[in-house]
């Protein structure tokens, strides 16, 4: 066991991943812009912000995330023993992974309360899944870019994830946001003494199993796992206490999923997010692998320590900054800000994936806008990832 530049770099990336998982809720609530992992938190966070209770947003996210760190730190060895040797649960479910993913998708789709909403959700899922097959499975944009421009855009097929997720989540939200409209709080904006914030244990427990799915099952994102935990009840956040509990579950899944992904990288040598994919690129499986109990590798312990420290710092920063930025009334992003962000994203797409990236971006924008206008949860656009993964395991 020894320190090295690669281990320090891995710890730094893990620290960035976990601290960002806390603070990303602030722009989501403030500006109404979400990514693929914050899509389910957009509505409850903005509801609380709109009534002047931005403090509840950051408190819920901090509470859920720190509780997940504590729970999964103690559950490290049991989960490792269950999923890896000696019980080997992951090896047993791997042949049935496609069936498991289909069942998860059916449960989330069935969470829509009416037939019309279910049909719209299914259309979003299928269309986004077809785009996923086009981009990820058959890699048509990457092949066309290489044939037209050679190695000018040498970022690989993963560079087309940027136009897809910008089109699904970021740009439609910015385009359709009520720029500059003042949000007048309907509440006091402060926590009252003896205020009932609703149950805490139940939302935390609700996020435990979805957290494990995020870390171990491919194609399941934090947002999709959170949606899964509430789809079983056919109920989303309807009032303040619901929104508070929903954000606790979201944060617990977010942080717990990242911790389980670290454990999965060490146990089965599989990366479940982009940060861990980058870490696996310069840290060998010999240094991160955990072949036998009860001796965890030194590298894994360092990464877990970095995750815990970053979670504490990220939580404190989220509360300190979030309570100030989300306090009282505010305005949505003005036209100048919105247009600047859209222009920046368009330039970023051109830089990363070339002109072909626009051919991917604009259909995704149309699909994302239709989801917002029709009132359908954009979480169903994650068919983009799930359908290609299901197709892979069906082979």
Nearest CA to 218 out of 357, 134, 304, 104 is that of 104
pTM of the model: 0.90
Distance of CA 120 to the CA centre of its chain: 22
The 3-state DSSP class for residue 182 equals strand
Residue 324 CB contacts under 8 Å (≥ 6 apart), including other chains:
none
Strand residue runs (E) in the chain:
182-183, 330-331
**Sign of the torsion formed by the C-alpha atoms of 111, 135, 271 and 67:** negative
Strands 182-183 and 330-331, how do they pair? antiparallel
Q: Which of 180-217 are b and which e, b meaning 16 or more Cβ less than 10 Å from the residue's Cβ?
A: eeebebeeeeeeeeeeebeeeeebbebbbebbbbbbbb
Radius of gyration of the chain (CA): 21
Given a contact cutoff of 8 angstroms between Cβ atoms, the answer to whether 163 and 349 are in contact is yes
The CA–CA distances, whole Å, from 138 to 281, 292, 314, 363, 389 equal: 24, 38, 39, 17, 12
**Sign of the torsion formed by the C-alpha atoms of 8, 215, 284 and 139:** negative
The CA–CA distances, whole Å, from 368 to 207, 341, 380 equal: 27, 17, 10
Q: What is the pLDDT of residue 44?
A: 87
User: pLDDT tens string for the chain (395 positions)?
Assistant: 577 899 999 999 999 999 999 999 998 888 766 666 666 667 788 788 878 888 999 999 999 999 999 999 899 999 999 999 899 999 999 999 999 999 999 999 999 989 999 999 999 999 999 999 999 999 999 999 988 988 777 567 788 999 999 999 999 988 887 554 554 545 555 555 556 677 789 999 999 999 999 999 999 999 999 999 988 765 555 556 688 999 999 999 999 999 999 999 999 999 998 899 999 999 988 888 998 888 899 999 999 999 999 999 999 999 999 999 987 655 566 788 888 999 999 999 999 999 999 999 999 999 999 999 999 999 999 999 999 999 999 98
């Amino acid at each position: 066991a020894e320190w090295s530049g690669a281990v320090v770099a891995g710890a730094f990336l893990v620290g960035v991943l976990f601290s960002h998982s806390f603070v990303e809720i602030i722009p989501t609530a403030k500006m109404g812009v979400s990514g693929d992992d914050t899509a389910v938190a957009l509505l409850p966070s903005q509801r609380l912000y709109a009534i002047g209770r931005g403090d509840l947003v950051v408190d819920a996210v901090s509470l859920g995330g720190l509780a997940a760190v504590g729970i999964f730190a103690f559950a490290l060895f049991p989960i490792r023993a269950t999923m890896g040797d000696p019980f080997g649960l992951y090896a047993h479910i791997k042949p049935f992974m496609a069936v498991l993913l289909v069942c998860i998708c059916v449960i989330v789709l069935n969470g829509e309360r009416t037939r019309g909403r279910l049909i719209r959700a299914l259309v979003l899922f299928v269309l986004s899944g077809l785009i996923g097959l086009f981009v990820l499975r058959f890699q048509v944009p990457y092949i066309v870019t290489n044939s037209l421009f050679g190695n000018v855009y040498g970022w690989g097929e993963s560079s087309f994830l940027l136009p897809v997720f910008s089109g699904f989540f970021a740009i439609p939200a910015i385009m359709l946001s009520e720029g500059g409209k003042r949000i007048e709080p309907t509440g006091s904006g402060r926590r009252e003494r003896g205020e009932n914030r609703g149950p805490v244990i139940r939302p935390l427990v609700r996020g435990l199993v979805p957290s494990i799915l995020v870390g171990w099952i491919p194609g399941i994102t934090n947002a999709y796992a959170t949606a899964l935990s509430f789809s079983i009840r056919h109920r989303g956040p309807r009032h303040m206490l619901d929104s508070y509990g929903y954000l606790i579950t979201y944060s617990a899944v977010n942080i717990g999923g990242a911790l389980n992904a670290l454990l999965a990288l060490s146990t089965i040598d599989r990366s479940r997010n982009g940060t861990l994919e980058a870490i696996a690129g310069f840290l060998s499986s010999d240094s991160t692998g955990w072949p036998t109990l009860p001796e965890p590798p030194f590298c894994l312990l360092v990464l877990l320590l970095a995750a815990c420290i970053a979670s504490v710092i990220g939580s404190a920063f989220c509360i300190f900054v979030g309570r100030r930025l989300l306090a009282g009334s505010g305005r949505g992003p003005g036209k100048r800000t919105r247009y600047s962000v859209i222009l920046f994203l368009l330039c970023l797409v051109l830089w990363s994936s070339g002109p072909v990236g626009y051919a991917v971006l604009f259909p995704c924008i149309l699909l994302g806008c239709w989801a917002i206008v029709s009132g359908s949860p954009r979480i169903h656009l994650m068919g983009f990832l799930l359908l290609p993964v299901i197709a892979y395991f069906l082979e």
